[in-house]
Amino acid sequence: MLSWRDGTGHRTQVSSLVPGDKRAIGRTGPCGRVRCRPAVRTPVARMNSSGSAQLPAVKMRNVIVIGSGCAGNTAAIYTARANLEPLVIEGLEAGGQLTLTTDVENFPGFPEGIMGPELVDRMKRQAQRFGATYRHGEVTRADLSSRPFKLWIGEEQLETRTLIVAAGASARWLGLESEQALIGHGVSSCATCDGFFFRGQPVTVVGGGDSAMEESLFLTKFATEVTVVHRREGFRASKIMLDRARHNDKIRWVTSATVEAVEDPAAKSVTSVKLRSTLDGKEWDHRTSALFLAIGHIPNTAIFRGQLDLDEQGYIVSHGGARTNIPGVFHAGDVQDRVYRQAITAAGAGCMAAIEAERLLEAEE
């Protein structure tokens, strides 16, 4: 006799696994063995005093995934294959940072490369094939004080037994209209992702911290020259990173200057940047084929402040594996990863979080 509980605690029993019986998984887990998992029951209509059918206000979920980038989509694939019927809240920027990238050439399995938005869409369709549901919107409030956890999209309340936070981290931009128009067309926040496309060309990096030094040093492998633009004379970068960059003959320095505009949005490519001195206000054009922003990222964790353990910059503090300080809440991708920030590492983190959630629910059956 096999049995399992659904999202409401109701126990279902079957005498055997019958092919095609949707009460059982009907699929194998990653190790090849058949598993039974809690299934979310369809809300049952009840009759109110007037005789009209009325659905319950809140549907219990086994797992909700916040975020629809590589981490969120991978978590959705794994939890859906485990028959947990995940709900994915896509966020206002559905698909995450990868949707801002044109060619992706470092994701395994695509020898000819793939467009960022297409890769995200393929992941989404793969998750949907196994039963994941996607919902556009942004989680505006969360109550993680007890299980089931409560989330709100505007005024709509959701409840879930487990939660995977894969909301990502948004790159800091300069806020220029011309910059925004050229994101993915020469303006980038990831040298590792896009540096290769500017082999044999001059590029520019904005920033003064360790990230800017790391990006600049990486870009010297491809570019003819790398110009670092920083708004002050001094740098926040560590001495070892700054010295390493200063000893690289391919790196030039423009300090006490800011980027005022990026050309040429009409041509859909970067041809130059307009720089302005912070000392005397003088402006001039600097020829470049790409502009890389290395001025930090903002993890999308504000709604969890005071509930999840966050560091001083807002990144989730890991408590081992994909676990947070709250049992049942798991992290995946750039909400916790301040170092690698790659599509493939985010996907791996999504897998980890999904397996953690699956094992927790299995242990509670």
The pLDDT of residue 59: 84
SS3 breakdown of the chain: % helix, strand, coil, rounded to 5? 25, 30, 45
The continuous run of DSSP H or E covering 292 comes out as strand 291-293
Ordered mean pLDDT values, 10 residues apiece, the chain (365 residues): 43 41 39 43 48 60 96 98 97 76 84 91 97 95 97 96 95 92 93 91 95 93 97 93 96 97 96 97 97 92 97 95 98 92 94 98 93
Could you tell me the pTM of the whole model?
0.70
CA angle 36, 65, 311 (to 5 degrees): 125
Count of CB atoms situated within 10 Å of the CB of 318: 16
β-pairing, 60-66 vs 156-165, is parallel
Interatomic CA distance for residues 305 and 314, integer angstroms: 8
The pLDDT of residue 56: 52
Rg (CA), the chain: 24
The pLDDT of residue 100: 66
The pLDDT of residue 101: 67
Half-sphere exposure of 52 (CA within 13 A, CB side): 4
Residue with token string 């009460």: 23
**Which one, of 183, 146, 171, lies nearest residue 329 by Cα?**
146
Distances in Å between the Cα of 84 and the Cα atoms of 75, 133, 300, 311, 344 are 11, 11, 25, 31, 24
Buried residues in 131-142 as b, exposed as e (16+ CB within 10 A): bbebeeebbeeb
| Domains (range + CATH), the chain | 56-170+298-363 (3.50.50.60), 173-293 (3.50.50.60)
The pLDDT of residue 109: 95
**Which one, of 213, 217, 223, lies nearest residue 290 by Cα?**
223
Active site residues: 190, 193-194
Residue with token string 């939890």: 79
